[in-house]
Structure 1
Amino acid sequence: MPRVVVFDEFGGPEVMHLVEEPLAEPTADEVRVRMEAFAVNPLDRMMRSGASPAPVPLPHARLGVEGTGVVDALGPGVTGLRTGDPVLLAAVPDAHARGSYAEYVTVPASRVVGRPAGLGTTEAAAVWVAFSTAYGALVEKAGMRPGDHVLITAASGGVGRAAMQIARQIGAVPIAVTRHSAKRDELLAAGAAAVVATDHEDIARAVGRHTGGTGADIVLDLVRGPGQQDLLKAARPGGTLVAAGFLDPRPTPFPAGPPLTVFSYGSFEHTLDVVVVKRMTAFLDAGVRLGALRPAVDDKVFSLDAVVEAHRHLEKGLHAGKKIVVTVS
């Protein structure tokens, strides 16, 4: 029988274990995907440890919000897909029940999209969450336009790297924020037009220098917490801040300072909307085809049997912000 990763209690990576389950048949408007690989995301760690913002029912909870594979079976009423089609999982809001850490996943057909040509299995497993989140926050929510100066926090992480590439593709100017000056060259190579290292620079002054004194048109805050106040000072009056991350668990003070439009963003806001997903997919396909969009994947790839080690790799920070991938087949 097919194997799936589950956990029965909250805790460290060791709470995960593999079990066998009967192969589920897709019902009306569902597809069954034979998984080839999935990526490990911070949300997976939060769910496993009990820190998820949404309740996770126990026991026998699953994990995984993205991955890639091929269509294995179609339920009644499914059109536009065929068995054997390579696909990405575009939305798994019920990861505790349908998570991608498995050999087979059954989901509504509306929650898969075609795999971009030109991406290998490992890259495809790690592309959707980062790029759909960055695209949704910057393009759909903030209305990013060519020439906009875009300040991006946690820029060395998966979403931050994707945001820099997407800004470049649009014609905007990505300014990366990092806590460590040692990452400057890496971030410039990853697509940043400029880098602000907070261990040596004041954010507002540095952004002013890089924008000719006007400030950032858009701020993508992937961290939140008290540090958001410094980002607000770096934005131009009338600019936009999109809070799309949760890396700092401390309370985020109410935004104060120059007049700004402030949004809180979660990726499911758009990845459950088939019209927006169509735009996301077209943008991603074009970017991959042109060589402008590419996920950064950790050199160490894990097997399904080593999923516990993959989570330990994440917790130790050994991935240096790149996506960790687990292969299934």
Structure 2
Amino acid sequence: MPNTAKVVRFHRLGGPDVLKVEELPIPEPGKDEVRLRVGAFALNRAEALFRKGYYIIQPQFPSKLGYEASGVVEAVGPGVDTSLIGKSFSTLPNFNFGSHGVYGEVAVVPVTALTPYPEILSPEEAASIWMQYLTAYGAMIHLGAVARGDFVVLPAASSSIALAAMEMVKAEGAISIGLTRTAKKKADLLSLGFDHVIVSNDEDVVKRVDKITGGKGARIIFDPVLGKGIEALAQTAAYKGIYFAYGLLDLSPTPYPVWPAMMNALSIRAFGISEILKDAEVMTKATNYIFERLSDGRFRPKIAKIFKLDEIVEAHRYMESNNQIGKIVVKVG
């Protein structure tokens, strides 16, 4: 058995070019940790922000990267059940990916990060589950209680989280309204299941939502972008609607939309996946909900493109191009 493995690290902040595939000694898992032989890992916007120094945690160099992977447990640390060895799992995003990053042929993660996935999923799909579906569940189901007849506005409609939210909206009998900047993705988004798609560069978003909803407005807005766009989106809200802010794709200042918020008695609420991960009871409900619907085919992660490990720079460049629909995955081996 080899004693080294390829692992992605970076030694300074910057663009995709700072990522390096390095041959490193295979690490031993510590207390309450396991080592995965990685089959595939998925990319998330959080990792691009982290690489550039804009995330909620800062890298300590040299830094690893990556939340989501699928693989087989090949070693366990003290305090971990040895029966896990040889079993397949995917990882929950509940650890510091600067120190426990999953970009590579092997990854050491806390045992609490391991979770089973439905057998019908490929390793690439299994690496693409939990960040998107748990984030969507938190806003759509746990907090938003989306219900039949609700209208839901989903900016950045081609993102994996918006696609997961759309599937939940559909499953609960509500109506999804996706927003995308250019027309090139519209047909694909409609074919994936969105009830309506608005091209924000070409259409008046406020007027289109008003027409689609028959003047009622959207009960839920699920926004990963923020920036000055919040002012128009707030105007699309239904009376006593809720606006979830869960990302920061636009790094420019975000104004508070005072007048539409007051007129619609609008609740504006920040939301992050950690709110779900830190609540054991909610996590159980969430993972059961997601697992069941993945198993019966109601949910299916959309893979935009698959790269090889040595193509990690190209994979991050593709993520920053915003041309993808769904999840970008790296297949290992």
Q: What TM bracket, shorter-length normalisation?
A: over 0.9
In structure 1, the residue matched to 2:331 is 327
Residue aligned with 2:165, SS: helix
Within the candidate set 81, 105, 127, 2:129 is matched to 127
Counterpart mapping for 1:14-53 below 5 A: 14-53=17-56
> What is residue 291 of structure 1 aligned with on the other side?
297
CA displacement, residues 125-180 of structure 1 (integer Å, 9 cap, x when unaligned): 22221122111222122222233211111111111111111111122211111222
SS of the equivalent of 2:303 reads coil
CA distance in 2, matches of 1:280, 1:56: 30
Which of 307, 313, 316 aligns to 1:308? It is: 313
AA matched with 1:293: F
Q: Give secondary structure in 1 for the equivalent of 2:234.
A: helix
Equivalences for residues 86-235 of structure 1 within 5 A: 86-235=88-237
Aligned to 1:253: 255
What secondary structure, in the 3-state scheme, does the structure 1 residue paired with 2:221 have? strand
1:83 is displaced (CA, Å) by 1.7
Count residues with an aligned counterpart.
Answer: 326
Judge conservation of contact 2:118–2:294 (CA < 8 Å) in 1: yes
Tell me the C-alpha RMSD between the 2 structures: 1.9
Distance of 1:17 and 1:95 partners within structure 2: 16
8 Å contact 2:307–2:329 — kept in the other structure?
yes
Task: Confirm whether residue 277 of structure 1 aligns to residue 283 of structure 2.
Answer: yes
Instruction: Give the whole-Å Cα distance in 1 for the aligned partners of 2:320 and 2:211.
Output: 36
Contact in 1 for aligned 2:90/2:114 (Cα 8 Å):
yes
Partners of 1:138 and 1:78 lie apart in 2 by: 35
Aligned partners of 1:231 and 1:212: how far apart in 2?
16
Give the drift of 1:305. 1.8
Letter in 2 for 1:328: V
1:2 alignment partner, SS class: strand
- Rounded to whole Å, the distance in 2 between the matches of 1:26 and 1:227 is 45
Q: Distance in 2 between matches of 1:249 and 1:207?
A: 25
Deviation (angstroms), 1:24: 3.0
Unaligned runs of 5+ in 2: none
Q: Percent identity?
A: 36
How big is the shift at 1:197?
2.1
**Contact persistence 1:92–1:99 (CA under 8 A):** no
**Residue 263 (structure 2) pairs with residue 263 (structure 1):** no
Q: Does the 8 Å CA contact 2:95/2:113 hold for their aligned counterparts?
A: no
Cα distance, 1:316–1:198 mapped onto 2, change above 3 Å? closer
Q: 1:17 to 1:176 in 2, by over 3 A?
A: same
Letter of the 1:227 partner, please give it.
G
Preserved contact between residue 225 and residue 251 of structure 1 (Cα < 8 Å): yes
Task: After superposition, give the CA deviation of every residue in 1:99-133 in whole Å (9 maximum; x if it has no partner).
Answer: 11022222222222102221101111222211221
> SS where residue 268 of structure 2 aligns?
strand
Query: How far, CA to CA, are the matches of 1:79 and 1:140 in structure 2?
Result: 32
Secondary structure of 1:302's counterpart equals strand
TM (norm. structure 1) is 0.92
Rate the CA distance shift 1:159–1:248 in 2: closer, same or farther, 3 A: same
The DSSP-based 3-state class of the residue aligned with 1:286 is helix
Q: Does 1:239 align with 2:244?
A: no
Once the 2 structures are TM-superposed, how far is the Cα of residue 22 of structure 1 from its aligned partner?
3.2
Shift in CA distance, 277/20, structure 1 to aligned 2, threshold 3 Å: farther
Q: Which range moves more in the overlay, 233-242 or 65-74?
A: 65-74
The CA distance in 2 between the partners of 1:247 and 1:274, in whole Å, is: 29
